[in-house]
Chain A
Amino acid sequence: MKLAMTTALAGAMTLSASAAFAQDEEKIDVGMILPYVGVYASLGEEIDQGFMLALEEAGMTDRFNIIREDTEASPQVGVAATRKLILEDEVDVLTGLVSSGVLGAVRDFVDQSQTPLIVSNAGNDEATGEDCSPYITRVSFSNAQVNRPMGQWLYDQGMRTVYTLAPDYAAGQQHIGAFVEAFEEAGGEVVGQDYTPFGQTQDFGPYLTTAQAADPDAIFVFYAGSEAINFVKQYDSFGIKEETPLYGSGFLTSQLYLEAEGPAAVGVVTSLHYVPTLDTPENKAFVEAFQAAADRLPSEYAVQGYDAGRSLVEAVKAGATDRESIKEALREVSYTGPRGPLEIDPATNNIVQNVYIYDIVEGENGLTQELIDTVEAVRDEPNGCELE
């Protein structure tokens, strides 16, 4: 009896020792938290594909053990998924998060459990501002980052008055707020603003008519998803395009929505951290690889997924193996990727990157993005973030 017990115990110890050995030496457990169902499912898919592409490109798919959890874009589900990955799966690093609401909900738990998190979309300013954490690194963008450069740029184009429109929720206000601040600083004037009920507005007719009546030099908007498609098409059908140019945050004319928007999108000028038509060897290689894998052009979401994967690869190449060392190594990451040179700002853990101003033109194979201007190395102010 006693012998049997000892043998069993020894066996169990050997087992757990070998499991621990496998975990330390071979694989890094990555918890991927993305929406795979619901309104953001297509974004989750793009990010996932981009991420896997980065691992394949580095030839390191075997180094990582990916555990996927679905957030369903709901904060409650997101928190449960994150807890499971951190406590049960004991992952070494987390990545993902499309919705800012989910990021806000999991932020404290991630920070307290000291698990590094590479954010691959969620752009709320606080995440790398007043609510920043040394464990949260963002390789996507911040809402203010993509819009601030447009303020001065629009003024330089001779626009003196604008009318702004956005959905009435936190991101809408941050996108527009950052632009308005920069535009007014440059000397421009905002002659009117409307925030439309988020997720309930399908017909922008009343708002477009009001904006037109204010007679601004330009209209500046932030819309994404089906709202972006509705807005661009209706802006065109009311004939406002012939009188007042449309500018906006680049999600408005993202590669994902371009086909549905059709010719209505031609001439719309927006700013974003990535366009698939960038003429650099890094981007060309990326576009080719993504097209081979997914049979379509990559959107900014695919690149964000790629850079989440790539920064993790860079961190591991630099010798990181566990939560603490990955967290430290992520802050040192810097390379030139598909979207140009990028690095992590040590003051906020947010990405420092180029912002591209582009318009939509009729190309050989349908609509395409034409680069007009590049604002280099856009960096956010710490905005209340104190790391260390």
Chain B
Amino acid sequence: MTFWIVQALNGLQLSMLLFLLSIGLTVIFGLMHFVNLAHGALYTLGAYAAVSAVAATGTYWGGFVFAPLAVAMAGVVLYTGLIRRMRKAGPMSQVLVTFGLIFVFLDLMRITWGDLALSIAEPTLFTGRSELLGVAYPTYRLFIIGLGLAVMLGLWVLLSRTQIGAMIRAGVDNDQMAACLGINVERLFFIVFCIGCALAGLAGAVAAPVLSVTPDMGTQILIPTLIVVVIGGLGSLKGAIAGSLMVGFIQTFGAVLAPQLASVSIYALLAAVLIFRPAGLFPAKA
């Protein structure tokens, strides 16, 4: 029993990390039909920003606060310098440009921080293990789960209970109609893009104590993140939650129950979803 509880927590922890990454991607995608493949690179940037900030401030929380801000700033630069120009260029050009950005970021990070893997220590507040449901589980991983749930709740309140949330939902549902009603959809997109970037940076800072920080960490997580977005359905919070939970749990329990199939199982899930629900499980548009 203990074994299954620990594995379920493992699944939940991975799901939360995927959620932090995919929510930004899916809303950007849903709102403006913009495919940002460089999202994984922003996650890596967040992790490196955290490493540098921890080194400078001497505390984990320095990185935790600095990384989302730094990546949001990078988002502003990216948006004004590149993405705004690409808005009307069509999906193929957007994919190519953001795909190219992956390699630009990869080399920039390699030049700045080097090839050797870096790492930061867990915050002292969350070291060691804690008792939960009768099992001892790494406290820092519990923190990741808690943080993921808190972000979920915060976004839910933002999207369903605030004016800007209503505007975002209107934009996702029908951007032309929303523009006719006087919503500045372009500015909305800019705000959402920055929040998405900040969340990617946060994910990087949160992952850094568990995973080693390498220039290619973003490319490794990009594919599971895209799978989450496709399974969940473009543009919806509910879809991102459902998608990340499914991918997180299938990856975890696949590794436990059928290790030979571990790398295939999430692709099988993806294929099944695409056959039976081509728009994803919870698409934002009816």
| Chain A residues proximal to chain B, CB less than 8 Å | 39, 41-42, 45, 194-197, 199-200, 202-203, 205-207, 209-210, 213, 225-226, 229-230, 233-234, 237-239, 256-257, 259-262
Contact check: which of A39, A203, A237 meets B122 at CB < 8 Å? A237
Contacts of A260 in B (CB 8 A): 116-119, 212
Q: Is A206 a contact partner of B115 (Cβ separation < 8 A)?
A: no
Instruction: Give the size range of B's interface with the partner.
Output: 35 or more
With contacts A203-B210, A226-B212, A260-B119 taken as known, whether A237 is within 8 angstroms of B138 at the C-beta atoms is yes
CA of A45 to CA of B14, assembled, Å: 34
| A229-B119 in contact given A196-B262, A206-B10, A213-B3 (Cβ < 8 Å) | yes
- Determine the main DSSP class of A at the interface with B: helix
Residue of B13, B14, B115 with most chain A CB atoms under a 10 A cut-off: B115
Residues on the A chain within 8 Å of B216, using CB: 39
Bound CA span A195–B262, Å:
10
CB neighbours of B115 from chain A (8 A):
39, 41-42, 45
- Contacts A205-B13, A230-B212; A197 near B262 (Cβ below 8 A): yes
The interface stretch among B84-92, B177-185, B252-260 is B252-260
Provide the main secondary structure of the chain B interface. Answer: helix
What is the CA–CA distance of A209 and B116 in the complex, to the nearest angstrom?
A: 28
Q: Which residues of A contact B129 (CB under 8 A)?
A: 237-239
Report the minimum CB–CB distance from A114 to chain B (whole Å). Answer: 35
Most chain A CB within a 10 A radius of its CB, from B216, B220, B221, B259: B259
List chain A residues, Cβ under 8 A from B119. Answer: 229, 233, 259-262
- B7 interface residue, CB < 8 Å from A? yes
B81 to A: closest C-beta gap in Å: 26
- Having A202-B221, A206-B10, one finds 17 other A-B pairs with CB under 8 Å, namely A42-B114, A197-B263, A206-B252, A209-B7, A210-B3, A226-B212, A226-B214, A234-B210, A237-B140, A237-B210, A238-B129, A239-B136, A239-B138, A257-B117, A259-B119, A260-B117, A260-B119
**CB interface residues, B 114-167, toward A, < 8 Å:** 114-119, 121-122, 129, 136, 138, 140-141
Per the bound structure, the CA–CA distance linking A209 and B117 in Å amounts to 25
Asked whether, in the complex, the Cβ of B211 is within 8 Å of the Cβ of A199, the reply is: no
Q: In the complex, what residues of B have CB within 8 A of residue A41's CB?
A: 110, 115
Query: Given A41-B115, A207-B255, A238-B138, are A200 and B210 also a contact pair (CB < 8 Å)?
Result: no
Tell me, yes or no, whether B71 is within 8 Å of chain A by CB: no
Contacting residues, chain B, for A259 (C-beta < 8 A)? 119
B262 touches A230 (CB 8 A): no
**CB-defined contacts of A206 to chain B, threshold 8 Å:** 7, 10-11, 251-253, 255-256
Q: Tell me if B245 counts as interface (CB < 8 A to partner A).
A: no
Q: Which residues of B contact A200 (CB under 8 A)?
A: 220, 263
Q: Give Cα A360–Cα B217 distance, bound, in whole angstroms.
A: 27
Q: A230-B211, A237-B122, A260-B117 are in contact. Are A202 and B217 (CB under 8 A)?
A: yes
Binding site for A on B (CB under 8 A): 3, 6-7, 10-11, 13-14, 110, 114-119, 121-122, 129, 136, 138, 140-141, 209-212, 214, 216-217, 220-221, 251-253, 255-256, 259, 262-263
Query: Across chains A and B, which 3 residue pairs bring their CB atoms closest together, nearest first?
Result: A229-B212, A260-B119, A197-B263
Are the CB atoms of B10 and A205 closer together than 8 Å?
yes
- For the complex, what is the distance from the CA of A269 to the CA of B243, rounded to whole Å? 40
Collect the chain A residues with CB atoms within 8 Å of residue B263's CB.
Answer: 197, 200
A225 / chain B contacts, CB cutoff of 8 Å? 117, 214
7 A–B contacts from the bound complex (CB under 8 Å): A202-B220, A203-B10, A203-B13, A205-B10, A206-B10, A209-B3, A257-B117
Using known A-B contacts A42-B115, A200-B263, determine if residue A233 contacts B10 with beta carbons closer than 8 Å. no
Residues of chain B contacted by A39 (CB below 8 angstroms): 115, 214, 216
What residue in chain B is nearest A198 (Cβ atoms)?
A: B263
Which residues on the A side are within 8 Å of B211 (C-beta)? 202-203, 226, 230
Nearest B residue to A42, CB-CB: B115
Beta-carbon contact of B210 and A209 below 8 Å? no
Residues B7 and A262 in contact, CB atoms below 8 Å apart: no
Residues of A within 8 A of B141 (CB): 205, 237
